[in-house]
């Protein structure tokens, strides 16, 4: 269940290999010894694993926010695969089922878990969040209740995309998005784009998205943004840009999603959002910010945060099955699972540019 460790090289069948983060900017494909299969676990052969921004942070700095890599760790957490073995108590899955994996195992004993907000569990064991190993491997062992069967018309790659899409779905739930909510999205990176797609699926009638890069804005437009606005990185431009945003919206900005998390983006979101509206902070670019909170509070603008997600996989899969959301255009680069390709894939993701989602096909 996200644990395991190095093997001694002996294996009576095929050696299970994984991409280990062993030092800054150093990934090595090495043997990965799986834990014993518990009665409520399944063993899954990984077929599609995406690269997340947090994976790149770990590779570049050995840390992400307050999580620090202190010993070699298997990377990866956006994943889908095929069931190869089921535990003795597993009732709803069989060998051969294609599944998307929710990467976090909560304790179900703490107050947060008992209240249903299991994403806030202090004892969460989450793929590739130190010291727990991730899922960029041939096989992993995971609780069956965190493996969700894919509809027949949903691919394994789309199944892996449920993880980033879940962030957007959880953000839309936190911000109460619906058919009467005009939405502003700050940032057109992978999370900004899935948040935009989720907001549309939740019924948002008008969505304006802003970014500093033309290439990302053009993708956002292709994916259905009503208006795109190129902005600067200069905080002196906030008031002028807020005017452009409000004009583009053609009405009130009811909810703003800051999917970047910088001083300027949060200042823009707080200023652009209508009185009584909401700002949802999704991105975590700056650990601390200086923002005009008092004027926003005086207009009763609510600020909400999100941390990962909860109970999102069934809805994500339904959005994909029904065609309400199409994540396929977000997958821009594909790589196999060799030492050379793993290195190239992470370099591609880290460079950004026209790369949105980089996907491994195992």
What share of the chain has pLDDT > 70, as a percent? Answer: 96
Q: Which fold has domain 166-305?
A: Rossmann fold (3.40.50)
265-312 tens-digit pLDDT = 999 999 999 999 999 999 988 889 999 999 999 999 999 999 999 999
- When the pLDDT of each residue in the chain is averaged and rounded to a whole number, the result is 95
Instruction: Enumerate the CATH 3.90.180.10 domain ranges in the chain, comma separated.
Output: 17-149+327-361
Residue 64 is predicted with a pLDDT of 87
The CATH superfamily label for domain 17-149+327-361 reads Medium-chain alcohol dehydrogenases, catalytic domain (3.90.180.10)
Instruction: Enumerate the CATH 3.40.50.720 domain ranges in the chain, comma separated.
Output: 166-305
- What pairing do the DSSP bridges indicate for beta strands 139-143 and 41-50? antiparallel
Mean pLDDT confidence for 237-249? 97
Instruction: Provide the 3-class DSSP secondary structure of residue 51.
Output: coil
Residue 12 is predicted with a pLDDT of 43
Q: Which residue has the higher pLDDT, 290 or 3?
A: 290
| Cα–Cα distance list, 338 to 2, 18, 19, 55, 346 (Å) | 21, 10, 9, 17, 12
- Work out the pLDDT band at 13, boundaries 50, 70, 90: low
Q: What's the pTM value of the predicted model, to 2 decimals? A: 0.94
The pLDDT of residue 180 is above 70: yes
Residue 5 is predicted with a pLDDT of 57
DSSP string covering 165-181, please?
HHHHHHHHHHTT--TT-
| Cα–Cα distance list, 256 to 154, 206, 260, 305 (Å) | 30, 12, 12, 12
The pLDDT of residue 338 is above 50: yes
Mean pLDDT confidence for 229-252? 97
The pLDDT of residue 1 is above 80: no
């Amino acid at each position: 269940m996200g644990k395991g460790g190095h093997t001694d090289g002996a294996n009576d069948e095929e050696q299970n290999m994984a991409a280990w983060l062993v030092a800054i900017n150093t990934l090595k494909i090495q043997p990965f010894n799986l834990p014993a299969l518990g009665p409520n676990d399944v063993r899954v052969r990984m077929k599609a694993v995406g690269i997340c921004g947090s994976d790149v942070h770990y590779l570049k700095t050995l840390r992400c926010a307050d999580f620090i890599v202190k010993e070699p760790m298997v990377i990866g957490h956006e994943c889908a695969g095929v069931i190869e073995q089921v535990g003795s108590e597993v009732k709803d899955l069989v060998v051969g089922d294609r599944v998307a994996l929710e990467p976090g195992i909560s304790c179900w004993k703490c107050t947060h878990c008992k209240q249903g907000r299991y994403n806030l569990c202090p004892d969460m064991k989450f793929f590739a969040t130190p010291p727990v190993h991730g899922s960029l491997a041939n096989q992993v062992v995971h609780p069956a209740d965190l493996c969700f069967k894919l509809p027949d018309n949903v691919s394994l790659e789309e199944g892996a995309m449920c993880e980033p899409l879940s962030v957007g779905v959880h953000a839309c739930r936190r911000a109460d998005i619906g058919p009467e909510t005009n939405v502003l999205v700050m940032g057109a990176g992978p999370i900004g784009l899935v948040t935009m797609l989720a907001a549309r699926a939740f019924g948002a009638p008008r969505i304006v998205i802003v970014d500093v890069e033309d290439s990302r804005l053009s993708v956002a437009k292709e994916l259905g943004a009503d208006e795109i606005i190129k902005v600067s990185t200069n905080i002196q431009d906030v008031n002028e840009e807020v005017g452009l945003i409000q004009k583009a919206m053609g009405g009130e900005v009811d909810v703003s999603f800051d999917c970047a998390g910088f001083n300027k983006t949060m200042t823009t979101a707080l200023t652009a959002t209508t009185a009584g509206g909401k700002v949802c902070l999704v991105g975590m670019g700056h650990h601390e910010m200086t923002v005009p909170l008092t004027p926003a509070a005086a207009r009763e603008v609510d600020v909400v945060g999100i941390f990962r997600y909860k109970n999102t996989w069934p809805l994500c899969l339904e959005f994909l099955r029904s065609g309400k959301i199409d994540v396929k255009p977000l997958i821009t680069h594909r790589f196999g699972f060799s030492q050379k390709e793993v290195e190239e894939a992470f370099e591609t993701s880290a460079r950004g540019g026209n790369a949105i989602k980089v996907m491994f096909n195992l």
